[in-house]
Amino acid sequence: FRPCPIATVARRESRSHAGDSSCASLAMAEVEETLKRIQAHKGVIGTIVVNAEGIPIRTTLDNSTTVQYAGLLHQLTMKARSTVRDIDPQNDLTFLRIRSKKHEIMVAPDKEYLLIVIQNPCE
């Protein structure tokens, strides 16, 4: 009797699929791990990833706070970047740190995304 051909085909298919998505899922896993690692550091209150339109993609804070931070910091980062480039067009903004009485807001800008971390520095 012939063995069930569907199962083997299915296995083959799943193997190929696993091949494609493996790098994607690996990468995604790495992203997850990076964000988790950042959140786990001492003093970190929250992490937000914002895209170019100001939409929060990933966040560990509640929605209203996230939306507030995303909107405000996005504008500020744009302004800071344009300031740096106005002074010297070859220059560009690499990092933005805002230290306030209560905590420190760190913004890592990129062409399309923004990584925002709020940390309570050890004092």
Q: What backbone phi and psi angles, to 5 degrees, belong to 45?
A: -90, -40
Alpha helix positions (H), the chain: 5-40, 63-87
25: Cβ contacts below 8 Å, ≥ 6 apart: none
Q: Which of 46, 48, 49, 69 binds another protein (CB under 8 A)?
A: 49
**Which residues in 79-108 contact another protein (CB under 8 A)?**
94-95, 97, 99, 104, 106, 108
Contact letters for another protein, residues 8-47 (x by CB under 8 A): ----------------x--xx-xx--xx-xx--xxxx---
Length of the chain: 123
Asked if 93 contacts 109 with a C-beta cutoff of 8 angstroms, the reply is: yes
55 is a contact residue toward another protein (CB under 8 A)? yes
Q: How many residues bind another protein (CB under 8 A)?
A: 37
Q: Is 123 in the site for another protein (CB under 8 A)?
A: yes
User: Which residue carries 């740190």 as its tokens?
Assistant: 97
On the 0-12 / 13-18 / 19+ scale of CB atoms within 10 A, 50 is buried
- List interacting residues with another protein (CB under 8 A): 24, 27-28, 30-31, 34-35, 37-38, 41-44, 49, 51, 53-55, 57-58, 67, 94-95, 97, 99, 104, 106, 108, 110, 112-113, 115, 117, 119, 121-123
